[in-house]
């Protein structure tokens, strides 16, 4: 079929798309064969159109030779179910205090409805996804997470009991290597298993960071509800070294809930991950814009 290049505005649009694909070729070549760990969370998970867009982008990454590993969260969905069941939640330092009743519900929601929704979306988009939790094949061994607080009057330090909130103690690399050598896209729910076979609820960012370190990922991508790191004027910081990121925490530019995300990124980089990026998952095709355009859309952190 011959196309009249002077035909219509529609032809111009298609030519621009072809140009964009051609310009992305060096990035395709750069990342082919690399492993990317993608933490998927935030409000993007509750929008059907954004879920479909995310799934198509993941399948595209796999088609051009990138090995994507998905780690998902589910805080808002868990909160909604607990509210419907009239189970009250308490948070300490952004972490949900998780008793036995709560951890059972957390596991049900994360490994059940949320995990399978993502798996189904990726498979519908033409991929081959399999859902896992940290219990499967003992993928994520976990231990109890402890937090301390200091009484301002007595200056006595007190250990806080968060219940069944854990942190990874070991990631099984054999399972991850199997997926890296296949066409399967693993979708991991952040549930870990303890020494006594107890279930632990783990922060999804933390799991994604640990998984990226264990599998030698080229990049860790955290899809969140914010654009990335902002400077004191509210402008996006597009590129930053790990040393500069630590300085921004010290001077208060990075604060609140962004601190643990940055700490996860810095730990991953220290453990061999080439670079990490924090971006807004609600931006359509955010991952493609970040990876295959010169300017990107989030904050890239590197050694």
Q: How far apart are CA 63 and CA 269, in angstroms?
A: 26
pLDDT in the model for residue 24: 80
Cβ neighbors of 49 (< 8 A, separation 6 or more) are none
pLDDT in the model for residue 153: 63
User: pLDDT by residue (tens digit) across 221-237?
Assistant: 999 988 999 999 989 99
Asked if the model's pLDDT at residue 30 lies above 60, the reply is: yes
Confidence of residue 14 (pLDDT cuts 50, 70, 90): confident
Confidence of residue 12 (pLDDT cuts 50, 70, 90): confident
Domains of the chain with bracketed CATH: 30-302 (3.40.1160.10)
Asked if the model's pLDDT at residue 4 lies above 90, the reply is: no
Phi/psi of residue 254, nearest 5 degrees: -95, 125
Long-range contacts of 60-64 (CB under 8 A, 24+ apart): 60/288, 61/36, 61/287, 61/291, 62/127, 62/183, 62/185, 64/28, 64/31, 64/32
pLDDT in the model for residue 131: 96
Report pTM. Answer: 0.89
pLDDT in the model for residue 215: 92
pLDDT in the model for residue 176: 86
pLDDT in the model for residue 86: 84
Q: Which of 41-50, 64-73, 167-176, 222-231 is the least confident region?
A: 41-50
Q: Which of 1-10, 118-127, 146-155, 190-199 is the least confident region?
A: 1-10
């Amino acid at each position: 079929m011959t196309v009249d290049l002077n035909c219509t505005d529609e032809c111009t649009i298609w030519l621009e798309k072809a140009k964009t694909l051609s310009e992305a070729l060096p990035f395709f070549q750069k990342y082919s064969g690399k492993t990317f760990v993608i933490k998927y969370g935030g409000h993007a998970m509750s929008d059907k159109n954004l879920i479909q867009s995310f799934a198509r982008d993941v399948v595209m990454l796999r088609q051009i030779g990138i090995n994507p590993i998905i780690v998902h969260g589910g805080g808002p969905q868990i909160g909604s179910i607990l509210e419907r069941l009239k189970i009250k939640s308490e948070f300490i330092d952004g972490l949900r205090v998780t008793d036995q009743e709560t951890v059972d519900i957390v596991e049900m929601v994360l490994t059940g409805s949320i995990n399978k929704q993502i798996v189904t979306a990726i498979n519908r988009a033409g991929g081959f996804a399999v859902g896992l939790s940290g219990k499967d094949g003992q993928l994520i061994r976990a231990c109890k997470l402890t937090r301390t607080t200091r009484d301002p009057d007595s200056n006595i330090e007190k250990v806080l009991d968060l219940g069944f909130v854990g942190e990874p103690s070991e990631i099984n690399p054999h399972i991850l290597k199997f997926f890296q050598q296949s066409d399967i896209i693993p979708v991991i729910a952040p549930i870990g298993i303890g020494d006594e076979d107890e279930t632990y609820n783990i922060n999804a960012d933390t799991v994604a960071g640990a998984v990226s370190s264990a599998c030698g990922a080229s990049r860790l991508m955290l899809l969140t509800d914010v654009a990335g790191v902002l400077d004191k004027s509210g402008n996006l910081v597009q590129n930053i070294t790990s040393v500069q990121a630590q300085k921004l925490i010290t001077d208060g530019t990075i604060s609140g809930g962004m601190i643990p995300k940055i700490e996860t990124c810095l730990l991953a980089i220290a453990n061999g991950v080439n670079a990490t990026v924090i971006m807004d998952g609600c931006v359509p095709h955010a991952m493609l814009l970040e990876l295959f355009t010169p300017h990107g859309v989030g904050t890239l952190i590197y050694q």
